[in-house]
Amino acid sequence: MSKRRMVIAGNWKMNMTPSQAKNFASELYEAVKGKRGCDIVVCVPAIDIPAVVKVCAGTAIKVGAQNVHFKNSGAYTGEISPEMLIDAGVKYVVIGHSERRQYFGETDETVNLRTKAAVAAGLTAIVCVGETLTEREQGITAEVVAKQVKLALSGISADQMKKVIIAYEPVWAIGTGKTATAEQADEVCGLIRSVVASLYGKVVSRSTVIQYGGSMNAGNAAELLAMENIDGGLIGGASLKTDAFTAIVTAAQ
Ligand code: PGA
């Protein structure tokens, strides 16, 4: 097991109405009560934030958002600012998820702007990177991922890296039921750690939390989390079921 503290984060994506979220968060709280061996986060739809923050207040579960704008206010219809998230009790935010890159025009540049703004506001940014199936088949995974990491972190100081988590999510493994093998996932997480080392030095790279995401579930979590360079998970589908998410939290203890 690594010396870093594991972070298990659920990414609910566009699931759960506010009333469903409230009930589910209460169930989850009961299920993970007493499991103090890792950090537990739920990244919920923006509209669910107030309900989930209320239920999770004073518990070990921290609340995250799934996106954030890079300005604190202004004429950006439909957007939510870092300041708003902080005021609502949010501690984490997912940035640059492949679904946002794929469907909503997210680029390495906007990922970088959001990351800088999130961290400056005091949020912990969960920055997602990962190759597509074509890129893996072309043998350019390392190149693609290293570039995403470098661009995302441009302008982030070594000190601010305490507020950055990198989630390695191979696009081909997201929501497909196809998980990277523990070795494949660890190899790329190790590569990410070496990129962080080249930018900030060994001390920072050794303490940076690097998660794996992509069809992590109750059955494969223990093996993935046991790998040297994997410090947690960003979990989609399995985070919507109390049993599955709790099993992953347990695997991280
Ligand atoms: P999945 O999603 O666990 O459903 O594959 C992971 C993610 O998109 O963060």
89-129 residue pLDDT tens: 999 999 999 999 999 999 999 999 999 999 999 999 999 99
| Partners of 63 in beta bridges | 42
| Residue 80: predicted pLDDT | 98
Q: Is residue 2 part of a domain?
A: no
Q: Is residue 55 part of a domain?
A: yes
Per-residue pLDDT of 198-252, as tens digits, reads 999 999 999 999 999 999 999 999 999 999 999 999 999 999 999 999 999 999 9
* Distance between Cα 214 and ligand 1 center (Å): 5
Q: Is residue 57 part of a domain?
A: yes
Which protein residue's CA is at the shortest distance from atom 2 of ligand 1? 236
List, by residue number, the catalytic residues: 97, 169
| Residue 1: predicted pLDDT | 43
* Distance between Cα 75 and ligand 1 center (Å): 32
Has residue 72 got a pLDDT over 90?
yes
| Residue 3: predicted pLDDT | 66
Per the prediction, the chain carries an average pLDDT of: 96
Q: Is residue 1 part of a domain?
A: no
Q: What is the span of the domain harbouring residue 181?
A: 7-251
| Residue 177: predicted pLDDT | 84
Ligand 1 atom closest to residue 237's alpha carbon, by position in its atom list: 4
Q: Is residue 102 part of a domain?
A: yes
Share of the chain above pLDDT 90, in %: 96
Ligand 1 atom closest to residue 238's alpha carbon, by position in its atom list: 3
For the chain, what is the domain count? 1
Which protein residue's CA is at the shortest distance from atom 7 of ligand 1? 236
152 closest CA partner among 103, 92, 192: 192
Return the higher-pLDDT residue of 2 and 143.
143
| Residue 179: predicted pLDDT | 85
Ligand 1 atom closest to residue 216's alpha carbon, by position in its atom list: 3
Q: Is the model's pTM score more than 0.75?
A: yes
Q: Is residue 128 part of a domain?
A: yes
Has residue 64 got a pLDDT over 90?
yes
* Distance between Cα 12 and ligand 1 center (Å): 9
| Residue 2: predicted pLDDT | 47
- Ligand 1 site residues (CB inside 6 A) read 11, 169, 174-175, 213-216, 234-238
The CATH number for 14's domain is 3.20.20.70
Q: Is residue 124 part of a domain?
A: yes
Q: Is residue 215 part of a domain?
A: yes
* Distance between Cα 57 and ligand 1 center (Å): 25
Among 44, 92, 212, 234, say which to mutate for ligand 1: greatest number of ligand atoms within 8 Å of CB.
234
Ligand 1 atom closest to residue 167's alpha carbon, by position in its atom list: 9
C-alpha to C-alpha distance for 234 and 155, rounded to whole angstroms:
25
